[in-house]
A and B are shown apart, each in its own frame.
Chain A
Amino acid sequence: MTNAKNPVPDPEDFELLLPWLATGRLEEREGARLAAALEQDPERARRYELVREELAETIWLNETSGAPSGRAAAQLFARIDAEGSAPRPLRRRVAGLAGWLRSASTRLGPAPRAWIAVAAAAVIVTQAGFLTALVVRNAAAPASYQTASGPQAGLGTGSFALIGFAPDATAAQIASLLQNNQASIVEGPRGGLFTIRLADRQLPREEVERVLARMRETSSVVLFAAPRQP
């Protein structure tokens, strides 16, 4: 839709879409068309640079506009805890998503199928994490939690700690922290805190403090860490 006789593009066609070209949010075909037009015309390339400047400074403005305090998270999860939850069956919902992916992959052509495969891989990875999370959530039920060997009261033997994660901590960061310290979540969250197992045996108090001190050093992931009696 470009006009070869007029290097100044029609706003309806080129100029209007430049911001989305800069953010990569155009459909592939549209993006390729605009990118080709940029390569052929230095004036268009110059105008695209203006957009990129606007993009950079808009990001800067937003990123320096501050972040919410911990109050927002504390209040939200207190309200959620007060409401409780009514979980629906896990397997049905997972099966539903997997079924949709299977169905979509058979309806679509090779390229969309490739993306479906990527999506399916992401779902599988995420599900693995959340199956673990489900065990943790179930363990948070009052008074008891379950292990593979059946109902059990208390935490059993070992060394334990209470830990609170930073609101911005990602699942990957938390998993890495636990792995690096050979710890695992065994209960929680309760009041925003998880119980983690540091070892299967009773560690000396100094050893527990040493591990917790190491965890606290990763302040971007850990907000709070303290020993807990079994």
Chain B
Amino acid sequence: MQAVADQVLIERIADGDRLAMQVLFARHHVRVYRFALRILGRETMAEDIIGDVFLDVWRQAGQFEARSSVSTWLLGIARNKAYSAMRRRSEDALDEEAAAAIPDSADTPEAALQKKSKAELLRRCLAGLSPEHREVVDLVYYHEQSVQEVSSILGIPENTVKTRMFYARKRLSELLKAAGVDRGWP
């Protein structure tokens, strides 16, 4: 139901309806921000990305052809802009804020085992996945994108989406096993 409403919003935005833009922004900007934040690791940059993404929507709403859902379109734009911003930023510019966003791998498995719950450990291992794996996990689990939609956002074949997700989950199991939790899979 919301997918249809999103497309209607885009129609209205294409007509220059600022209120429709506010509704679309309110509906999607937090998720777009979190997706960009996951890639960039810096809050200020992620906030800049949302502005750029939705300004593109304002300017290009008339070109939206509804071949994908609006959320997929937004995430695709956000990803392109985030990676462009990341390329502009040299590794030397990596500051404390970004460093703080990098998962802390200093804990030994024994230390990790001291975490109180399996859920907490699972979250820690999810955060320890590579950016490529974490990205596909976030797109599938959090952003609820289909195989086809992830394929569209990442620009990879659908079969690669499935196998990338599989290997991300496999890596997660390896991290958990290293931390002392054997899930019995794969």
The chain A residues found within 8 Å of chain B, CB to CB, are: 11, 15-17, 19-20, 22-26, 46-47, 50-51, 53-62, 65-69, 71-73, 75-77, 79-80, 83, 85-90, 93-94, 97, 118-119, 122-123, 126-127, 130, 133-134, 136-137, 140, 165, 167-171, 189
Which of B12-20, B73-81, B105-113 touches A? B12-20
Give the residues in chain B near A83, CB-CB below 8 Å.
Answer: 58-59
Asked if A61 meets B25 with Cβ closer than 8 Å, knowing A123-B8, A137-B17, the reply is no
Q: How far, in whole Å, are A89 and B27 apart by their CA atoms in the complex?
A: 25
**8 pairs, A vs B, C-beta closer than 8 Å:** A15-B186, A16-B162, A53-B119, A57-B126, A62-B138, A68-B43, A89-B15, A169-B26
- What are the 3 A-B residue pairs with the smallest beta carbon separation, nearest first? A85-B16, A87-B16, A58-B141
The chain B residues found within 8 Å of chain A, CB to CB, are: 1, 4-5, 7-9, 11-12, 14-23, 25-27, 29-30, 33-34, 37-38, 43, 46-48, 50-51, 54-55, 58-59, 62, 118-119, 122-123, 126-127, 137-138, 140-142, 144-147, 149, 162-163, 165-166, 169, 172, 183-186
Asked if A87 meets B185 with Cβ closer than 8 Å, knowing A123-B4, A167-B26, the reply is no
Give the residues in chain B near A55, CB-CB below 8 Å.
Answer: 141
Chain A: interface secondary structure? helix
For A132, give the chain B residue with the smallest CB separation. Answer: B19
Decide if A25 touches B145 in the complex (CB within 8 Å).
Answer: yes
Asked if A57 meets B122 with Cβ closer than 8 Å, knowing A20-B146, A130-B12, the reply is yes
Name the contact of A76 in the complex, choosing from B9, B37, B51 (C-beta under 8 A).
B51
Q: How far, in whole Å, are A144 and B41 apart by their CA atoms in the complex?
A: 46
Q: How far, in whole Å, are A56 and B117 apart by their CA atoms in the complex?
A: 14
Name the contact of B17 in the complex, choosing from A23, A61, A87 (C-beta under 8 A).
A87
Give the residues in chain B near A127, CB-CB below 8 Å.
Answer: 8
Give the residues in chain A near B11, CB-CB below 8 Å.
Answer: 93-94, 97
User: Closest Cβ of chain B: how far from A113's Cβ, in Å?
Assistant: 15
